[in-house]
Amino acid sequence: MINPKLKTMGEQFGRRSWAEPWKIKMVEPIRMTSREERQEGMEQAGYNTFLLRSEDVYIDLLTDSGTGAMSDRQWAGIMLGDEAYAGSRNFYHLEEAVQSYYGYRYVVPTHQGRGAEHLMSRALIKPGHYIPGNMYFTTTRVHQEIAGGTFVDVIIDEAHDPANLHPFKGNVDLDKLDELIKGVGPENIPYISLAGTVNMAGGQPVSMANVRALRGLCDRYGVRIYLDATRMVENAFFIQEREEGYGDKSIAAILIEFCSFTNGAWMSAKKDNLVNIGGWLAVNDSDLFDMLRNMVVVYEGLHTYGGMAGRDMEALAIGITEAVNDDHVRSRIEQVRYLGDLLTNWDIPIVKPVGGHAIFLDAKSIYSHIPQDHFPAQTLAAELYLDSGIRGMERGIVSAGRDPKTGDHRYPALELTRLAIPRRVYTQAHMDVTAESVKAVYDAREQMRGMKMVYEPKYLRFFQARFEHIT
C-alpha cells in the first residue's frame, strides 16, 4: 500500500530522483554474519578492517579502489588481450585513450597508482627538496619521503574543517605556496603535487580558477605542476556543478581543460578509470618521459605493459571512455550524496560538502570524549563492522603516521572514518542499510572508549597495525 503522506526521496531532498544509467547482468552473492562471528573476526584482525577476510564482510566500503564493476564492454575487452611481451596492441589503445581524454603527450603504464608515484618521485625528487601539495595522500607522501623530499601542505585552511561548506575545499592556498617558494627557493621545489579531488580532505574538489591561478604563479618561478588524476573525473563533475561558466560543458571538456594547466599526471586507474588493477603516468616533457620509460623497465615491466596484462590494458582503455560519460559520473556522485543526506537528516556529523567518492564520518566529533591518540576513527570503523558487517577505514591519526624527523605521531586536524562507495556495485538499499548501521553506532557512542596500538609496522602503518580495546 502506498502511503500518500510519505514523500518520494526526490521530494524529500528537494529534487527529482535519479537512477543508475545501467542495469545488472551478473550478481555476486554476499552474506550477512552473526554478531559472534564478527566479534571473532575483528579480534583475529586486531581491530583493523584491512586485516578482515572479505568473505566476512557484508557491505564492503573499505575503498573505491579496484572494487568497481566493469561493464560488459570492458569484459569483452578482456577477451581481446594481446599478451605479447612487447608492443601489445592493447597498450596502443591505452596510450591513445590517455592522450585523447587527458591531453598529455607521453604515456607510461604502471601496475597501479603507487607504481607511478614511485617512478615520478624517484625521477624528480632529490634529498633536501620540498614538495608542496593540496593535503598529503598516504602512498604519495611516503614515496616523496623515501626519495628524500619533505611534503608541505599548502591546501586552503577550510579543508581542515569538516563543517566548512566551501565549494572547492581542495584548492591550493596560493599565498602559502608563494611564501614557501620564496622561503626555500624554486630550485628546491621539483614540482607541485596537485590532487583532484583531495582524498584525505573528504573527496573535495579543486576549482578551474584555482588551477589556472596556480599555473600563473608556478610560471613566474618556473615550477612544474604534476597532477594526481586518480579522481579527476569526479573533480570535473564538481566544476560543472559549481563553477561559473562550466554548467554547459561536458565532463570530458572540463577534464582536458584542467589537465592543460599541468605538466603531467600520475594515475591510480583503479578509481575513476573503472578497472580492478592498473595505473599510468603521462607527461609532456620528452626528457622526463625518456627517464620514466627507462625506469619503468627496472621497477614495473616493459614500457608497453608496466606490470599489467594486455587484457588489463584493454579494459582500462575502455574504462577511460566510460569514465567521462556525464550520466555515469552524475549517478555515481548522487549515490554518495544520497547516503550523506540520510546521515545528515539524523544530525550525524560528516565532512561537508559531501565529496566525490565517499562519506567521511567525523569521528573526532562523534567520539569527542576519546583522545586522538586513543584512535577514535579506528574505533568507529571497528564498531561499524561489529554492528552490521559493514567495512570502512580509518583516515586519521593512524593513517597520518609518524613524523620521520621526530618519530612522534602526526596529529591531523581531521580524524575521520571513511565509507568509500565502489563504482556501479551497490544499490540504494545498500545505502539505506549502511545509514541505519551508522545511526546505531552513533546512538551508542557514549559507551565507547578508545583503543591502543599493539603492533605498528614501519611504513603505511594503517594497513597492518593491530589494536586492542582500552579497558
Side chain identity at residue 185, one-letter code = G
Q: Minimum CB separation from ligand F0G for residue 67, in Å?
A: 9
CB 308 within 8 A of CB 115: no
Bond preceding residue 353 cis, omega within 30 of 0: yes
CB 77 within 8 A of CB 94: no
Q: Is 462 part of the annotated catalytic residue set?
A: yes
Q: Rule CB under 6 A: say whether 270 interacts with ligand F0G.
A: yes
Kindly tell me which of 144 and 150 has the beta carbon lying closer to ligand F0G. 144
Kindly tell me which of 141 and 430 has the beta carbon lying closer to ligand F0G. 141
Q: Minimum CB separation from ligand F0G for residue 65, in Å?
A: 4
Q: Is 271 part of the annotated catalytic residue set?
A: yes
Q: Rule CB under 6 A: say whether 268 interacts with ligand F0G.
A: yes
CB 143 within 8 A of CB 117: yes
Kindly tell me which of 114 and 129 has the beta carbon lying closer to ligand F0G. 114
Kindly tell me which of 63 and 263 has the beta carbon lying closer to ligand F0G. 63
Q: Minimum CB separation from ligand F0G for residue 358, in Å?
A: 8
Binding positions for ligand F0G, 382-441, rule CB under 6 A: none
Kindly tell me which of 137 and 246 has the beta carbon lying closer to ligand F0G. 137
Distance CA 267, CA 113 (A): 5
3-state class of 469 per DSSP?
A: strand
Q: Minimum CB separation from ligand F0G for residue 112, in Å?
A: 3
Rounded (5°) CA angle 315-317-318: 65
Q: Is 85 part of the annotated catalytic residue set?
A: yes
Nearest residue to 203 (alpha-carbon basis) of 362, 416, 412, 358: 358
Determine the size of the site formed for ligand F0G (CB under 6 A).
15
Terminal alpha carbon distance of the chain: 49
Binding positions for ligand F0G, 196-255, rule CB under 6 A: 199, 228, 230
Q: Is 228 part of the annotated catalytic residue set?
A: yes
Distance CA 20, CA 331 (A): 6
Side chain identity at residue 67, one-letter code = T
Report residue 273 as a C-alpha cell. Answer: 578509470
Nearest residue to 140 (alpha-carbon basis) of 231, 215, 60, 61: 231
Q: Is 395 part of the annotated catalytic residue set?
A: yes
Q: Is 138 part of the annotated catalytic residue set?
A: yes
Distance CA 108, CA 231 (A): 19
Binding positions for ligand F0G, 105-144, rule CB under 6 A: 112-114, 137, 139-140
The residue from 138, 139, 379, 417 that is catalytic is: 138
Catalytic residue annotation: 85, 137-138, 228, 271, 395, 462
Interface residues toward ligand F0G, by CB under 6 A = 63, 65, 112-114, 137, 139-140, 195, 199, 228, 230, 268, 270, 279
